[in-house]
Chains A and B, each alone.
Chain A
Amino acid sequence: MTQADAALKARSGPRLRGFNWREYVVYIGFVVVFLFFAVTQGANGFLTTTNLTNIVIQTAPITVMAVGLVFVLSAGEIDLSIGSVVALSALIAAVTLRATDNMLYGAAAGLGAGALVGLVNGLFVTLVRLPSFLVTLATMGAVAGLAREVTGLQSVPVANDAFLSLFGQGDVFGIPGLVVWSIAAVVVGYVVLRQTRYGAHTLAVGDNIGAARVSGIKVARVKIMVLMGSAMCAALAGLLYAGRLQGARYTLGEADLMTVIAAVIVGGTSLFGGKGSIVGALLGSLLMGMLNNGLILAGLSVSQQMMARGAIILIAVSLSLREKRS
Chain B
Amino acid sequence: MSTVIEESVPGAGPGAGGVPLQLSNIRKQFGGVVAIERFDLELRAGEIVALVGDNGAGKSTLVKIISGVYQPSEGELRMHGRPVSFRDASDARRQGVEVVYQDLALVDSQPVYMNMFLGRELTRGPLRLLDRRRMARETQELVDRLDVRIPSAKATIRELSGGQRQAVAICRATHWASSLVLMDEPTAALGVAETAKVEELIMRLRERGAAVLVVSHNLDQVFRIADRVTVLRRGRHIGTRDIAATTRNEIVSMITGA
Tell me if A7 is interfacial: C-beta within 8 Å of chain B: yes
Q: Does any Cβ of B come within 8 Å of A322's Cβ? A: no
Instruction: Please tell me the number of chain A residues within 8 Å of chain B, measured between CB atoms.
Output: 34
Given contacts A8-B154, A15-B155, 9 further A-B contacts (CB under 8 A): A4-B144, A5-B137, A15-B152, A196-B128, A197-B130, A200-B121, A210-B103, A211-B118, A214-B105
Give A2 to B123 CA distance when docked, in angstroms.
Answer: 20
Interface residues of B in 82-113 (CB under 8 A from A): 89-90, 93-94, 99, 101, 103-110
Among B94, B101, B151, residue most surrounded by chain A Cβ atoms (within 10 Å): B151
Are A214 and B154 in contact (CB-based, < 8 A)?
no
Among A178-186, A201-209, A312-320, the stretch in contact with B: A201-209
Report whether A8 and B158 are in contact in the complex, using a CB–CB cutoff of 8 Å: no
Interface of A is mostly: helix
**Sample (11) of A-B pairs whose CB atoms are under 8 Å apart:** A3-B144, A15-B154, A15-B155, A196-B128, A200-B114, A204-B119, A207-B107, A208-B107, A210-B103, A215-B105, A274-B107
Q: Per-residue CB proximity of B67-86 to A under 8 Å, as 1/0? A: 10000000000000000000
Shortest CB–CB separation between residue B140 and chain A, in angstroms?
4
B137 and A2 contact, CB distance less than 8 A? yes
Check A207–B108 contact: CB distance below 8 A: yes
Q: Do residues B108 and A8 form an inter-chain contact, with CB atoms below 8 A?
A: no
- Complex CA gap A202/B118 in Å reads 11
Q: In the complex the two chains form, what is the Cα distance from A204 to B103 in whole Å?
A: 15
Nearest neighbor of B142 in chain A, beta-carbon distance: A4
Residues of A within 8 A of B156 (CB): 15
Point out which of B103, B109, B144, B151 has the most chain A C-beta atoms below 10 A from its C-beta.
B109
**Whole-angstrom distance between the alpha carbons of A49 and B5 in the complex?**
73
Q: Mark B113-148, 1 if CB is under 8 A from A, else 0.
A: 010001111010000111000001110110010000
Residues of B within 8 A of A (CB): 67, 89-90, 93-94, 99, 101, 103-110, 114, 118-121, 123, 128-130, 136-138, 140-141, 144, 151-156, 158-159
**CB pair B107 A4 closer than 8 Å:** no
Q: Which residues of A contact B (CB under 8 A)?
A: 2-5, 7-8, 11-12, 14-15, 191, 194-197, 199-201, 203-204, 207-208, 210-217, 270, 274-275, 326
Contact check, B121 vs A216: say whether CB atoms are below 8 A apart: no
Q: Which residue on chain B has the smallest CB distance to residue A195?
A: B129
User: Measured between C-beta atoms, what is the minimum distance from B151 to chain A in Å?
Assistant: 5
Interchain CB contact under 8 A, B105 and A208:
yes
* B contact residues around A196 at 8 Å (CB): 123, 128-130
**Cβ of B162 to closest chain A Cβ, rounded Å:** 11
Who on chain A is nearest to B138 by CB? A4
Residues A12 and B152 in contact in the complex (CB < 8 Å), given A207-B109, A211-B107: yes
CB contact under 8 A between A15 and B141, given known A196-B130, A274-B108, A326-B158: no
Q: Which residues of B contact A3 (CB under 8 A)?
A: 144
A215 touches B119 (CB 8 A): yes
Across-interface contacts of A11 in B (CB, < 8 A):
151-152, 154-155
In the complex, A221→B173 CA distance in Å? 25
Are the C-beta atoms of A15 and B151 separated by less than 8 Å? yes
Shortest Cβ distance from residue B109 to the other chain A in the assembled complex, whole angstroms:
5
Interfacial chain A residues near B90, Cβ < 8 Å: 213-217
In Å, the complex CA distance between A32 and B153 comes to 36
A326 contacts which chain B residues (CB < 8 A)?
A: 158
Determine the distance from Cα of A326 to Cα of B144 in the docked complex, in whole angstroms.
28
For B107, what are the chain A residues with a Cβ–Cβ distance below 8 Å? Answer: 203-204, 207-208, 211-212, 274
